[in-house]
Every structure is written in C-alpha cells, then in structure tokens.
Amino acid sequence: MVNIPLNRKRMRSLLLCKSQSCGLIGSLVLKRGFTHQDTGLHYDRYLREVIDFLEKDQHFREKLHNTDMEDIKQGKLAKELDFVSHHVRTKLDELKRQEVSRLRALIKAKQDIEGGKDMMMDHQALLKQFEYLNHNNPHTFEVEDLDRLIKSATNDLENYDKERHEEFKRYEMMKEHERREHLKTLDEDGRKKEEEHHEELKKKHADHPKVNHPGSQDQLKEVWEEADGLDPEDFDPKTFFSLHDTNGDGYFDEQELESLFTKELEKVYDPANEEDDMVEMEEERLRMREHVMNEVDTNKDRLVSLDEFLIATKKKEFLEPESWETLEQNQAYTEEEMREFEEHLAREEKDLNQKTLDLQKQKEELERQQEQLNAQKLELQQQSRYICYNSICFSWVLFVQHVT
C-alpha cells in the first residue's frame, strides 16, 4: 500500500474487514480511499475503476473529505454524483456498459456450458450477480449505481475474516487427515517412527520464547527497541504512533497494525524450520490484529485513531496484560469437527468414485454401440459388394446372350 491521495493505503483494512462491525465498509470504501489489493469480489476491477475515476473529480473529492460516515451510509454522498464533471460521468457510463457486457458474456458462457438449458438455471442467482449495479439501465451510471456499489461492497465483504478462519480450519483438518491417511500406508514400525517424528516437531515448534500480548506495553516496547532502535525506558506512545503511522494519515489501519506483530511472530515461526507452518503464521497474525482491534477500536470503523490508541495505553490491559496463547495452545478444530470433516471427505470420495464408475459404464456402452455400428457398416459394405457383383454377372449374361 502506498501513500497517495485520499489515503488509499487505509482502504486495505476496510475492504478486507469481515467482522460484525463491517457494516461500515461500503461507506468507508469511498471515505478512506482505495487499495490495489484484490478484494476477491467478482466485480473487483469495476469497483476499483469507479473509485479511481471519482477521485479525479475535484468536487466529489472535496465532498468525500467533508462528508461524515453516517451521511455516506445513508446515501447522501452518492447524490453528489449529479455534480461531477461531464468527463467523469462519461467514463463511468462507459465502465458500466463494459461491466454489463462482461456479466452478460459470463452468463451466456455458463448457459453454453450447460448445453443452453437456460430454463434450468437459477435466475435469482444470476440476478444477484447484478446487485451492485442497476441492470435495468445498462447505459448510464447513475446515483443508484453508486449507492448499490457501496451497499454491495458492505454486504459482500462483511464476513471476510470469518471465512478466513473457516478456511484455515479446513486447511488444518485436511493436513491432519492426510497425515492419518499416510499412517495407514505404513507398517507398525513405520507408524511408530512417524508418530515420534510428529511429536518431536510439535515440541520443537512449541519451544519458543515468550510471546508478548499483542498491543500491550511490553509488545510495543519490544518493537520500539528492536525495530526502531530506541531506548525502552524512553518509550512514548504518541511518538510510537507517529513512527508506525507509515502514511501519516492519523490512523493505524489493519496492515500497519499487523506489521507491529512481526517481531512476535518471528519468535514462533521460521520458514526454514520443518516444524513451522507459514499458513499458521498468517492465521496467528490475523488473530493478533483482530484482538487489538476489538480492544482498541472503540468506534468500530476498522481503524485505530491516535486518540483511541492513547486511551488504550492507559488501561490495565495495556500495562498488565494476560499471557497470550498461541495457536499450538488453541487447536483450530474439535475432534467432532474432524470426524464430520472426514465423513464429508468420505462421502465426496464415494460420489466421485460413483461418477467415475458411471462414466466408465457410459464409455463401455459407447464402445459397444460403436462396435455394433462398425459391424453393421461392414455388413452393409459386404451386401453392397454382393449386389454389385450379381449386377455385373447379370449384365454379362445379357451381353453374351445378345451377341450370340
């Protein structure tokens, strides 16, 4: 993320925010600037381009800076679209036409893949793909389009962190499942050695220096000393905030917060070690960021202001924090969840095997039909030759009779 007009860097936390407070996201998409990181939305490119063009209009940019969050959420900022320059409106119209064409092409491709059986398609699901724009007017970008875009970004991104946690849980269960399946392929001696090696790796991973409570005085002082090269006895929260507010916008966004945890994560994870999983490191980073946001971000806008930060540094949790439990102390799944996961995999494997069997039968049936066709073709060719031969013979007899 870079420091560019409208604090685009701060948009990363807003677009990637997926917690209960993310109802603010749609408005913050515009209020806080934009990011170059892919949001994962199927209309990501459209969203980026709309924001980029709106930023180029001086009137809209000024309104953006002077409009509060509640007004944006109520759609008041979207109404300012009527006052942007003709050039920007023309570009937005063009973007919308291109986006509508893109969606229509995707839907047609889906219909073609399904053999043109459009009557069997879920039309509600198809219409839902258009929710972020007014598809009834495919030609011009209007106030309703901007309002829809803001609300759609809100709805589509609000569960992102939750989904990331679920993906991590599935990753951990799949890793354990594959380990268990591998054990089944070994003899008793091999299984014993593999289990011993597994336990050894777990112990090595757990044998790391104490991890400071994220966002605590001890944790920030360590950054102050080791990353900033300053005397921990001279720790000053306001100076610390200025040093790590890397784009100088007066807020810690999610990326700036996560960068503060690097020293703590390095105590636990090393990419060169067999026992350390970098996917787990990113989950730990996410847990740390969520924890600090929950403790410090009092207005739930997914940003930590200087005032919020300074207030937090006076709390008991900052000065005398509890110990921080890392991932190895908090298994991502229960044994019941693991059992259900493996049952689900078994069902999927069974279904896949059945489909494979059905396809094999279809192949065999097609081959049998082809053999029949080939046999019929050969028989017809033989009959044709016989008829031709008889015809020639008959013609020869008639010819001889005629001559004689």
pLDDT at residue 128 tops 80: no
> What pLDDT, on the 0 to 100 scale, is given for residue 5?
30
Q: What CA–CA distance (Å, rounded) separates 371 from 334?
A: 55
pLDDT of residue 80: 87
Residue 150 has pLDDT above 60, yes or no: yes
CA 180 to chain centre: 28
Give the CA distances from residue 327 to residues 9, 203, 330, 332, in Å, rounded to whole numbers and listed in that order: 29, 13, 5, 8
pLDDT at 122: 62
- At residue 29, does pLDDT exceed 60? no
At 384, is the pLDDT very low, low, confident or very high (cuts 50, 70, 90)? Answer: confident
Confidence of residue 340 (pLDDT cuts 50, 70, 90): very high
Residue 206 corresponds to which tokens in the numbers above? 């757990």
Cβ proximity of 35 and 1 under 8 Å = yes
- 163 pLDDT band, cuts 50/70/90, is confident
Q: Which tens digits make up the pLDDT trace of 211-257? A: 999 999 999 999 999 999 999 999 999 999 999 999 888 899 888 99
Residues 6+ apart with CB under 8 A from 314: none
What size, in residues, is the chain? Answer: 404
Interval 271-303: pLDDT, tens: 999 999 999 999 999 999 999 999 999 887 778
**385 alpha carbon, distance to own chain's centre:** 67
Whether the pTM exceeds 0.75: the reply is no
* 342-355 tens-digit pLDDT: 999 999 999 999 99
Q: CA dihedral in degrees (61, 66, 72, 76; nearest 10)?
A: -90
- Quick: pLDDT tens for 51-98: 888 888 888 888 877 776 667 767 778 888 889 999 999 999 999 999
SS3 assignment, position 252: strand
pLDDT of 123: 63
- C-alpha to C-alpha distance for 51 and 28, rounded to whole angstroms: 12
Model confidence at 381: pLDDT above 50: yes
H/E stretch holding 256: helix 254-259
pLDDT, residue 8, reads: 36
Dig out the tokens for 373 from the structure.
Answer: 């066709």
| 39 or 57, which is more confident | 57
Structure confidence at residue 18 (pLDDT): 33
- Which of 331, 206, 308 is closest to 257 using CA atoms? 308
* pLDDT the model gives residue 27: 42
